[in-house]
Every structure is written in C-alpha cells, then in structure tokens.
Amino acid sequence: SQTIHQWPATLVQPVGSPLSLECTVEGTSNPNLYWYRQAAGRGLQLLFYSVGIGQISSEVPQNLSASRPQDRQFILSSKKLLLSDSGFYLCAWSVMRFNYGYTFGSGTRLTVV
C-alpha cells in the first residue's frame, strides 16, 4: 500500500532563517506531488505541484521554492522566512493521468517568530 511521510511535525523558526520540509511517498511510482499551505482561518492554498523529477509548477509567487530531486521525494524550501509564512504545510500525492483525489501527509505546523 502507498504511504506518504512528511517531517518534521512541528517547527518554530525565527524570521529570516531558512526552511526545508521534506516529503516522501512509498509504494507507488511516478506520482503527482503537491505542497499546500493552510493558514489559520483560511482554506488550503496550492503552492507547488510536480508531475515528474525536476518538474515544478508554482501556483503562487512568494519566497518559497520546491524541488523534486527523486521520483518520490518533494522538498519545500525558503532562504529567508517571513512571519506570513506561518501555517500548516501539507504534502500530498495522487496518481498520474486521472485525479482520484489526493492523499495528504500528516503535515508540518510551522510557526515563524
């Protein structure tokens, strides 16, 4: 069966510090991968998605970036965090070719102080 791992679960970082969140998927090949952010009182916002190694599409311009160095690994990064980057970050995967819905990881709660 497929599983998705996301870490760390919680993170407190000072403003201006770098960020690296990692997500890996097991039990499937060539998944579509996604990074979402859910800010307090707001909906899920799609940040990045990837349909293959090295292929990244950005939905919202911001100080975050994403990379996909391996088929089942997706990384979210920032060089300098802002207060507004605080939120609940969720990685998700889906099968390619047809959207049967996304499966989410357990999420990372990021607080920028």
* Euclidean distance between CA atoms 111 and 42, whole angstroms: 16
What's the min distance (Å) between Cβ of 16 and another protein? 27
x-marked contacts with another protein along 36-55 as a string, rule CB under 8 A = x-----xxx-x--x------
Using CB under 8 A, count the residues that bind another protein. 22
* Euclidean distance between CA atoms 45 and 43, whole angstroms: 6
107 interacts with another protein by CB under 8 A: yes
* Beta pairing class for 108-112 and 10-13: parallel
x-marked contacts with another protein along 58-77 as a string, rule CB under 8 A = -x------------------
Residues sharing a CB contact under 8 Å with residue 62, sequence separation 6 or more, in sequence order: 47
